[in-house]
């Protein structure tokens, strides 16, 4: 049984929904609030959360008359309380308040906290059987096996919010598991798609941040340039849909119009298309199992003219190959892959390593972890967080020698 509901069940639709948005002040949060704003009568906002951006959280909590607002930084509780005093909106601070926000009774929860901090809150929503629109990658990359098992046990529904996985989610409903041959995740190829290895090695931060199609946060934009993001998405797809690495292909598609495709046994390939706008997959999750009216631009294929495709180049983008290696090794390895990449990206942003060294640091950390022989399966959020912490320390230890070594 899968926690991802692959066939629509219209009987499950409800007219009005209580919703919570975890990570409401971020990029995905912003797109989600924009959709809620479009039909305020259809939604009652139960809880909103942020890390430290009190002003933005307060503004949203007031605008949507949320029942509960939570800030992760415990030092900011007083600021939040003062700013919301007289509104009747309850406040909380610290990690426990973010988890409380997720545990409060909302039918639909957007899980869009960034990083490993998103895991426990998403689990709190899953454990009470909520419908969870999942944007946070770490829930799957760091802990996908037991995250999905917990969702099945609790009767939670996981709706993939990431554009590629949402596309697969929409296309997978055209057949069943036995009929599936493979899924294809598309990749724009990022700003270095046509660059040679030597130029990619020396790419600057400003060059890495120039994504050709998508407007996203800094970390995910750099991951797109290195194709580490596509690697993370391959891992996510494996856990979400129960696919082997051999059933997941990546196809470079510079226009970012087709987001994902599924090939079935009769050789039909079903694709989902749309403008590169995160509000489209989020709207699909928000409306599911119905469709809502979205504010995004309509797709004009005649104007776009051409859709082109290329095979990914594992030599120029070794991070993508490392993701497949991690998936073959198992859950802990994907946790290490993600943690090492976060350390590497932070080091690149800080000017400590070259762009090309991001993949080398991830590879060195993964190799050290495999050599340690500590390959037991993860059975709790704390297990995953421990592997994540250890991998970060290992990556930090390896950083100076990777930085010193020219390619
Ligand atoms: P942002 O950095 O824009 O926003 C992150 C949100 O999480 C903010 O609300 C932030 O609060 C909050 N937050 C950060 N750290 C913590 C913490 N320790 N505890 C509690 N809350 C915290 O990220 P995105 O919206 O871009 O991405 C969110 C997730 O969705 C990520 O996992 C990302 O990989 C994934 N994703 C993003 C896509 C995109 O297009 N942006 C596409 C697909 C997936 P504050 O504002 O106060 O810092």
For 76-114, how does the pLDDT look when each residue is reduced to its tens digit (9 = 90+)?
A: 999 999 999 999 999 999 999 999 999 999 999 999 999
pLDDT digits (tens, 9 = 90+) for 243-288: 999 999 999 999 999 999 999 999 999 999 999 999 999 999 999 9
Predicted confidence band of residue 11 (pLDDT cuts 50, 70, 90): very low
* pLDDT, tens digit, 9 for 90 and up, residues 220-241: 899 999 999 999 999 999 999 9
- 245 secondary structure, DSSP code: G
The residue whose C-alpha atom lies closest to atom 27 belonging to ligand 1 is: 114
Report how far residue 287's alpha carbon sits from residue 161's, in angstroms, rounded to the nearest whole number: 12
DSSP 3-state of 249 = strand
**pLDDT at 403 > cutoff 90:** yes
Instruction: Say yes or no: CB of residue 44 within 6 Å of ligand 1.
Output: no
Q: Give the residue among 184, 150, 169, 50 at the shortest CA–CA distance from 110.
A: 50
Is the C-beta atom of 50 inside 6 A of ligand 1?
Answer: yes
List 133's β-bridge partners, or say none: 110, 159
How far apart CA 407 and CA 404 sit, in angstroms, is 10
Count of CB atoms within 10 A of residue 375's CB?
12
pLDDT score, position 15: 59
Q: How much is the pTM?
A: 0.94
User: Is 25's C-beta closer than 6 angstroms to any atom of ligand 1?
Assistant: yes
Q: Which atom of ligand 1 is nearest to the CA of 229?
A: 34
Q: List, in sequence order, every beta strand (DSSP E) within 116-254.
A: 131-134, 157-160, 180-187, 248-252
Task: DSSP for 61-116, please give it.
Answer: HHHHT-SEEEES-GGGHHHHHHHHTTTT-EEEESHHHHHHHHHSS-SEEEE---SG
Beta strands in 248-333, from DSSP E residues, in sequence order: 248-252, 258-264, 269-273
Q: What angle do CA 371, 374, 378 make, to 5 degrees?
A: 140
For residue 215, the ligand 1 atom closest to its alpha carbon is 40
- Say yes or no: CB of residue 76 within 6 Å of ligand 1: no
CB of 26 closer than 6 angstroms to any ligand 1 atom: yes
C-beta pairs of 354-357 under 8 Å, 24+ apart in sequence: 354/201, 354/202, 354/407, 355/200, 355/201, 355/202, 355/203, 355/204, 355/208, 355/225, 355/226, 356/197, 356/200, 356/201, 356/202, 356/203, 356/407, 357/402, 357/403, 357/405, 357/407
Q: Contact at 8 Å (CB) between 384 and 143?
A: yes
Distance 113 CA to ligand 1 centre (A): 4
| All domains in the chain, ordered by first residue | 17-162 (3.40.50.720), 166-278+297-406 (1.10.1740.10)
Q: Which two tokens stand for residue 322?
A: 């490392």
pLDDT tens figures, 333-378: 999 999 999 999 999 999 999 999 999 999 999 999 999 887 777 8
Helix (H), strand (E) at residue 205: helix 205-208
Q: Answer whether 278 contacts ligand 1 (Cβ < 6 A).
A: yes
What torsion do the CA atoms of 339, 344, 349, 354 make, to the nearest 10 degrees? -170
Contact 28/161 with Cβ under 8 angstroms? yes
CA distances from 269 to 110, 263, 372 (A): 30, 4, 42
* Mutation to probe ligand 1, out of 21, 112, 114 (largest number of atoms < 8 A from CB): 114
Q: What is the pLDDT of residue 179?
A: 98
């Amino acid at each position: 049984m899968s926690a991802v509901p692959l066939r629509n069940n219209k009987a499950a639709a409800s007219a009005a929904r209580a919703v919570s948005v975890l990570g409401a002040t971020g990029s995905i949060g912003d797109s989600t609030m924009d959709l809620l704003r479009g039909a305020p009568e259809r939604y009652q906002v139960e809880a909103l959360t942020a890390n430290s951006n009190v002003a933005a959280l307060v503004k949203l909590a007031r605008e949507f008359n949320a029942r509960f607002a939570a800030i992760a930084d415990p030092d900011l509780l007083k600021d939040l309380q003062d700013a919301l005093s007289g509104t009747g909106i309850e406040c909380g601070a610290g990690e426990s308040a973010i988890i409380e926000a997720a545990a409060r009774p909302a039918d639909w929860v957007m899980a869009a906290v960034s990083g490993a901090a998103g895991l426990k809150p998403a689990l709190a929503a899953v454990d009470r059987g909520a419908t969870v629109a999942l944007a946070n990658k770490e829930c799957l990359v760091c802990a996908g096996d037991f995250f999905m098992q917990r969702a099945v046990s609790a009767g939670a529904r996981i709706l993939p919010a990431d554009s590629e996985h949402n596309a697969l989610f929409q296309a997978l409903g055209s057949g069943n598991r036995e009929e599936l041959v493979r899924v294809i995740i598309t990749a724009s190829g990022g700003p270095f798609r046509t660059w040679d290895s030597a130029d990619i090695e020396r790419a600057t931060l400003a060059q890495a941040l120039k994504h050709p199609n998508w407007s996203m946060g800094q970390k995910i934009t750099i991951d797109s340039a290195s194709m580490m993001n596509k690697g993370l998405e391959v891992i996510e797809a494996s856990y979400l849909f129960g696919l082997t690495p051999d059933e997941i292909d990546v196809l470079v598609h510079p226009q970012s119009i087709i987001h994902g495709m599924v090939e079935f046994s009769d050789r039909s390939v079903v694709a989902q298309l749309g403008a590169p706008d995160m509000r489209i997959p989020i709207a699909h999750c928000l409306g599911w199992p119905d469709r809502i009216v979205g504010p995004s631009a309509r797709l004009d294929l005649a104007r776009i003219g051409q859709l082109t495709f290329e095979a990914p180049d594992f030599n120029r983008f070794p991070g993508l190959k490392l993701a497949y290696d991690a998936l073959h090794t198992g859950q802990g390895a994907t946790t290490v892959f993600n943690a090492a990449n976060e350390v590497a990206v932070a080091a690149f942003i800080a000017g400590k390593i070259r762009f090309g060294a991001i993949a080398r640091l991830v590879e060195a950390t993964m190799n050290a972890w495999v050599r340690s022989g500590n390959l037991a399966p993860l059975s709790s959020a704390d297990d995953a967080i421990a592997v994540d912490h250890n991998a970060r320390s290992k990556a930090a230890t390896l950083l100076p020698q990777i930085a010193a070594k020219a390619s």
